[in-house]
Amino acid sequence: MVVILIIITVVIDATEKMEDFRKHKLTLHAIVFDYFIYFIPFIVNLLTPICVFLAVIYFTSKLANDTEFVAMLSAGISLYRLYLPYFFTSIVISILTFYLNAYVVPKATAKRMDFEYKYLKLQMTYGERDIHKKIAQNQYFYCSSYNQYEQTAYQFSLEKIVNGRLESKLLATRGVYIDSLRKWRLDNVTIRDYLVNSPRTSDAPQFIPEKITQYVQIDTALLLTPDDIYRKEYFAYMMTLDELDEYIALETMRNSDFLPELLVNRMERFAFPFAAFILTLIGFSLATAKKRGGIAMQLGVGIVLAFVFVVLVQLSKSIHIEGIPTEISLWIPNVLFWVIGIYLLWRAPK
């Protein structure tokens, strides 16, 4: 089922992007090995729980309609014992899904998005102006504009403010991020270090330049990357779980507005793999009884339930419930459908 849906998805995606592929004169090798080879893991991870669910419904319904369950139950085998192979297999699939979600898919997504921004999203420009960000403790960044293709920040400014007092300020006409060095190359740099002078004639402190240093060009390492200024689509999804944990710690220190989205993304990586386990439980419970409508009827009911589950999962990421953090509300569909699965298994003919 996964393979069939991958083929359908790839054909549809290729059809939509064919004009862009032709415009850039991309070879078949480049399309397959620079794009689709990284697109497939994303689709596999997304579709696996639903495909597992449909496979369980189909396989178990076939057994039920052939009265295999009647024979096994009549021989004294418990329904719960029959569920054990499903249970252990769904656990294995959930673990594999977690690994894909945490480590494989993020790397593939990063490669895929690099390809899309190089060939498919050239028309997109970053239009934000007067960009302010806290990049470290007591350190603040500003630029008037940013070019995401050249990784260049114009009117580059870096301030160090301690206890509300400006201690130093760096000004540059522009800053270019050098990927190979992981440093910013700053042009026409002026660095001002300040001291506080409190004359007897005034109770208010006066900030006066203590030292002015100028450079034509310097390279400097900062706790700032182009991704901190301009975030691509799926930015959080492009980090492995370890990288995401490090970035969350950094954004926590910065008290960033982006932090809630990162926390939701992290919790989603733990909640999503349980879908295969829960849908397997529901699929088995629904399909063990022989029904008049046969496999088609059970597949139809299963698809409706799976659709409701997917909708609830998506809504749980966007709807805020008073008093419940979003990263916790992600578990609500899992808990709700797990309870439904336990109830269906309890009510299944034994």
Q: What is the pLDDT of residue 277?
A: 92
Tokens 């415009």 belong to: 23
Domain boundaries, the chain: 2-121+258-347, 131-229
Q: What is the pLDDT of residue 230?
A: 84
Per the DSSP assignment, residues forming a β-bridge with 209 are 194
Number of H helices and E strands in the chain, helices first, is 13, 7
Q: What is the pLDDT of residue 67?
A: 85
Q: What is the pLDDT of residue 178?
A: 93
Q: What is the pLDDT of residue 344?
A: 87
Q: What is the pLDDT of residue 201?
A: 44
Q: What is the pLDDT of residue 20?
A: 86
d(CA 348, CA 268) in angstroms, rounded, equals 31
Q: What is the pLDDT of residue 323?
A: 65
Q: Between 37-65 and 274-287, two packed helices, what is the crossing angle to 10 degrees?
A: 20
Low-confidence stretches of the chain (pLDDT < 50) are 198-202
Contact 272, 48 (CB under 8 A): no
Burial of 123 (0-12, 13-18, 19+ CB in 10 A): exposed
Q: Structure pTM?
A: 0.79
d(CA 83, CA 50) in angstroms, rounded, equals 19
In Å, what is the CA distance from 244 to each residue of 34, 44, 257, 326? 24, 21, 16, 17
Q: What is the pLDDT of residue 200?
A: 44
The total of other beta-carbon atoms located within 10 Å of residue 267's CB is: 18
Residues ≥6 apart with Cβ < 8 Å to 344: 281, 282, 285, 286
The first and second tokens of residue 207, run together, are 């900030």
Q: What is the pLDDT of residue 302?
A: 74
